[in-house]
Amino acid sequence: MRREDAVALNWMFGTSITSAFELIDDGSISLFRSPKNKCVAHVIGHSGDYWIPAGATTCQCMAFKLNHLKDKYCKHILAAAFCIGISDANEFQSMADSDMEQIFEQHVFQ
C-alpha cells in the first residue's frame, strides 16, 4: 500500500484501520457466500468472534458499543468490508441460505 493511501485511511477511520489490517494479516477473516448471493465475514477477534454481513455498519463487539459515536466503525467492520471488497469469488466459502439466515438472526440483528 502506498504511504499516502495509508495516511488517508488512517485519517478516515482512525486507529481502527491499523487493527483491521492486523486481523486480515493474521488470517482472522473467513468469507462466506450463499446461493442467494448474501455475503458475510466471520471475524475472529481478541475478545470474541463476530459475523459481519456485506455492507454492515454495526458490530456486536464492546468497542463498537462504547465507541461508535466517536469512531464510526470498529476494526471488525473495517476488516470485513475490506476483505469482502477485494476478494475474488473463489475466496468465499459457500454456505446454505438457511445457515446464512440463521447467522443473521442470531448474530447480526440485536
Distances from the Cα of 43 to the Cα of 2, 7, 49, 103, angstroms: 25, 24, 6, 13
DSSP state of 90: G
Q: Which stretch binds Zn ion (CB under 5 A): 15-23, 27-35, 64-72, 78-86?
A: 64-72
Q: Which stretch binds Zn ion (CB under 5 A): 7-15, 34-42, 53-61, 93-101?
A: 53-61
59 binds Zn ion (CB under 5 A): yes
**One of 39, 56, 61, 79 touching Zn ion (CB under 5 A):** 61
Q: Which stretch binds Zn ion (CB under 5 A): 10-18, 70-78, 84-92, 98-106?
A: 70-78
74 binds Zn ion (CB under 5 A): yes
Of residues 65, 38, 69, the one with CA closest to residue 54 = 38
Taking the least distance from each CB to Zn ion, the nearer of 59 and 83 is: 59
**One of 13, 64, 73, 92 touching Zn ion (CB under 5 A):** 64
d(CA 78, CA 72): 10
For 41, phi and psi rounded to 5 degrees?
A: -110, 135
